[in-house]
Structure 1
Amino acid sequence: MPAPETVEDLAQIFGLLADPGRLRLIAALLEGGEMCVCDLAAATGHSMSAASHALRLLRVHNVVKVRRAGRMAYYRLADSHVRMLFDLAITHMRHGEQERDDE
């Protein structure tokens, strides 16, 4: 059994990823690589303010990294683990759908 602190941290990450808007931002970064807030907002249908707020939460939890160039902020996924987690969740979801179809 993981340590209680580890379980709490894991719950925070899953809670963070439970928001459809944040998942859209992650999906946009998976497709587009490094992107500025304005492009992420446009790609996901968020306002710039909502995109910035969501990206700030993702950054605090080390899901995304930010690079600043003057007044512009460019975001990218923190590491390949984020892609693996996203892909694994989609595979798990599809596997469950297939099992339900086979019943």
Structure 2
Amino acid sequence: MHESIAGFEMPTEIEVRRAADLLRMLSDPTRVKILWALLQGENSVACLADLIGATPTAVSQHLSKLRLAGLVENRRDGTFIFYTVENAAIRPVLEQVLAIAPTSAAERG
């Protein structure tokens, strides 16, 4: 058995579940690209599809998931819908994940 660790604090179950849900949203390469593109500024589905090299249908489906997760928001302008990142605090999270992601031996050459 271990002794109590002085000053040890564990996040609540709700906090842990929310963090895991966020990480699941970031577990898809297309969603990471979409969020990164949206951190550069507001974009439409067609523009995002062009920027990340995916079909508009795929981008739309991912945006729907990101919107339900509270990571992006949209606004309508006539027949167009434009998306933005809802909480800019996602930027340092993405930057950190991209910085610490290990490279494979093949990528290193």
**TM tier, smaller:** 0.7 to 0.9
- Is the CA contact 2:39–2:88 (under 8 Å) kept in the aligned structure 1? no
Looking at structure 2, the residues matched to 82 and 66 of structure 1 have their Cα atoms a distance apart, in angstroms, of 17
**SS state of the match for residue 86, structure 1?**
helix
One-letter identity of the residue aligned with 1:56: S
Looking at structure 1, the residues matched to 36 and 85 of structure 2 have their Cα atoms a distance apart, in angstroms, of 10
Cα deviations across residues 22-57 of structure 1 (Å, max 9, x unaligned)? Answer: 1111121123x0000110011111111110010011
Segments of structure 1 that go 5 or more residues without pairing to the other structure are 98-103
**SS state of the match for residue 68, structure 1?**
strand
- Are positions 1:19 and 2:19 aligned together? no
1:78 is aligned to 86
> Which aligned pairs between 1:63-102 and structure 2 lie closer than 5 A?
63-93=71-101
Looking at structure 2, the residues matched to 88 and 61 of structure 1 have their Cα atoms a distance apart, in angstroms, of 20
Please tell me whether Structure 1 or Structure 2 has the larger radius of gyration of its CA atoms: 2
1:100 is aligned to none
Q: CA RMSD in A?
A: 1.5
Looking at structure 1, the residues matched to 57 and 85 of structure 2 have their Cα atoms a distance apart, in angstroms, of 19
- Is the CA contact 2:35–2:85 (under 8 Å) kept in the aligned structure 1? yes
Q: Count residues in correspondence.
A: 94
**TM-score, reference length from structure 2:** 0.77
Which structure: greater helix fraction? 1
**TM-score, reference length from structure 1:** 0.82
**SS state of the match for residue 74, structure 1?**
strand
- Are positions 1:60 and 2:68 aligned together? yes
